């Protein structure tokens, strides 16, 4: 090997077809990533109270939804295609601290108040309960 | 003594019966090509060991340095020799790391087989336009594809692993390119047959 190797020396090894392969490979990855990672985009928040569907809200419209439960009222916020439980009477606040749900299959559950929000739509890749 | 079969035996061993005397002995017939393959496989094995010392951010993402050797052997001695070196490296490497017949071994094996199949196709591309880098990238993609198939069919039969494909594919593109460049550069710097320069 030469004593000093410049990056240019390596780049000279690329033949025209190699550039083509690189380009095609990069393109494939971009398309693949788009397809795989955006396939899970959700469009609907399914809100359940005591096991029954309370409401199905589209994520396209920003809104606050108040859901009654045995302990009190849980507030679900939908904003910019995401949803979260913004307030809940449960003592440990697990569902509130779970934060924003973005992808299809994600779910936040407030067990004490028996309220849950699940995102659906798109290609459901996995659901966080069974995963 | 002539070998027992007509075509040259590579790494096979023939059992010879010396006439009427039941005095059979086992003799390993090795050709010059066998020695080349063994040396190359040893170098590839060395790179595998080296590579295992490098921490990886994601299990399964490895540079695959040993494939540099496979690429060089492919260019110098053809596909058959490359297949030998690659598979010997997989088997010997698994013995070395103690995961022979364990899941990791089958992942390596399926990756190696898929890359070899891809190389068998890609080596027929026009050589003026497509060099080792192309072979390396295509083989790297075939490698992860082979591994993902094993992972999905056997280890984690869940579509959730699809989520990881972009990581693996990106790693394949990057490391495939780097390995291909290193192989190409090595062969450029070293016009003598690689074996002479190493012995």
Residue B117, Cα to own-chain centre: how many angstroms? 11
| Element spanning B118, H or E | helix B103-122
pLDDT at A37: 79
Q: Which string of b and e fits B57-78 if b means at least 16 CB within 10 Å?
A: eeebbbbbbbbbbbbbbbbebe
Residue B162 has a pLDDT of: 84
Mean pLDDT of A9-24: 90
The band of B5, judged by pLDDT with boundaries at 50, 70 and 90, is very low
Cβ B158–A126 below 8 Å, yes or no? yes
Between these two residues, B58 and B123, which has the higher pLDDT value?
B123
A5, A8, A18, A125: which to substitute to probe chain B, counting the most B Cβ within 10 Å?
A18
Average pLDDT, chain B: 85
Mean per-residue pLDDT over chain A, rounded: 84
Report whether pLDDT(A90) > 90: no
CB B177 within 8 A of CB B136: yes
Lowest pLDDT segment from A82-86, A102-106, B50-54, B179-183: A102-106
Report the distance separating Cα B117 and Cα A118, nearest Å: 44
Q: Using the predicted structure, report yes or no on whether residue A127 has a pLDDT greater than 70.
A: no
Q: What does the domain layout of chain A look like in residue ranges?
A: 7-38, 44-120
Chain B hits for A16, Cβ within 8 Å: 129
Which pLDDT value is given to residue B107? 93
Q: pLDDT at position B197, please?
A: 47
What was the pLDDT predicted at B3? 41
Contact A25 B133 (CB under 8 A): no
Q: Contact at 8 Å (CB) between A125 and B163?
A: yes
Yes or no: domain A44-120 corresponds to CATH 2.60.320.10? yes
The complex's ipTM works out to 0.75
CB contact under 8 A, A18 and B180: yes
Flag whether residue A10 sits within 8 Å of chain B, measured between CB atoms. Answer: yes
**B137 vs A15, A25, A125: nearest CB:** A25
Residue B23 has pLDDT above 80, yes or no: no
Using an 8 Å CB-CB cutoff, list chain B residues near A29: 166, 169-170, 173
- Give me the residues paired with residue B13 across strands: B28
pLDDT at B74 over 90: yes
What is the C-alpha separation between A94 and A89, in angstroms, rounded? Answer: 11
pTM of the model as a whole: 0.69
CB distance B133–A126 less than 8 Å? no
Tokens of B34: 């066998």
pLDDT band of A105, cuts 50, 70, 90: confident
A38 pLDDT higher than 90: no
pLDDT of res. A7: 82
Q: Which two tokens stand for residue B45?
A: 């094995």
Q: pLDDT digits over B189-198, tens only?
A: 766 554 554 4
Fold entry, domain B33-198: Arp2/3 complex 21 kDa subunit ARPC3 (1.10.1760)
pLDDT at A129 > cutoff 80: no
From-to residues of CATH 1.10.1760.20 in chain B: 33-198
- pLDDT tens for B158-177 read 777 888 899 999 999 999 99
Output helix, strand, coil percentages for chain A, rounded to the nearest 5: 25, 35, 40
> How near does any CA of chain A get to the CA of B69, in Å?
16
Give the C-alpha separation, A37 to A24, whole Å.
Answer: 20
């Amino acid at each position: 090997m030469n004593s000093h190797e410049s990056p240019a020396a390596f780049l000279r090894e690329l033949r025209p077809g190699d550039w083509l392969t690189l380009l095609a490979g990069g393109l494939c990855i971009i398309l693949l990533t788009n397809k795989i990672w955006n396939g899970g985009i959700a469009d609907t928040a399914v809100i359940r109270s005591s096991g029954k569907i309370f409401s199905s809200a589209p994520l396209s419209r920003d809104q606050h939804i108040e859901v009654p439960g045995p302990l009190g009222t849980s507030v679900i916020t939908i904003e910019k295609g995401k949803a979260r439980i913004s307030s809940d009477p449960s003592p440990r606040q697990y569902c509130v601290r779970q934060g924003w749900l973005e992808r299809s299959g994600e779910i936040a559950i407030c067990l004490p108040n028996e309220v849950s929000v699940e995102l659906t739509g798109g290609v459901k890749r996995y659901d966080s309960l069974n995963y | 003594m002539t070998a027992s079969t007509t075509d040259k035996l590579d790494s096979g061993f023939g059992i010879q019966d010396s006439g009427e005397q039941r005095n059979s002995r086992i003799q390993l017939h090795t050709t010059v090509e066998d020695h080349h393959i063994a040396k190359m496989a040893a170098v590839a094995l060395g790179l595998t060991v080296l590579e295992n010392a490098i921490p990886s951010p994601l299990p399964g993402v490895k540079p695959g340095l040993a494939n540099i050797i496979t690429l060089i052997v492919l260019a110098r001695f053809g596909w058959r020799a490359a297949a030998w070196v690659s598979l010997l490296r997989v088997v010997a490497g698994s013995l070395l790391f103690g995961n022979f017949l364990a899941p990791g071994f089958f992942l390596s094996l399926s990756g190696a087989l898929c890359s070899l199949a891809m190389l068998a196709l890609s080596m027929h591309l026009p050589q003026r336009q497509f060099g080792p880098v192309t072979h390396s990238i295509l083989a790297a993609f075939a490698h992860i594809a082979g591994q993902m198939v094993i992972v999905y069919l056997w280890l984690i039969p869940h579509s959730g692993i699809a989520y990881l494909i972009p990581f693996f594919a990106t790693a394949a593109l990057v490391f495939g390119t780097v390995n291909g460049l290193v192989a190409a550069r090595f062969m450029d710097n070293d016009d003598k047959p690689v074996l002479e320069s190493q012995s």
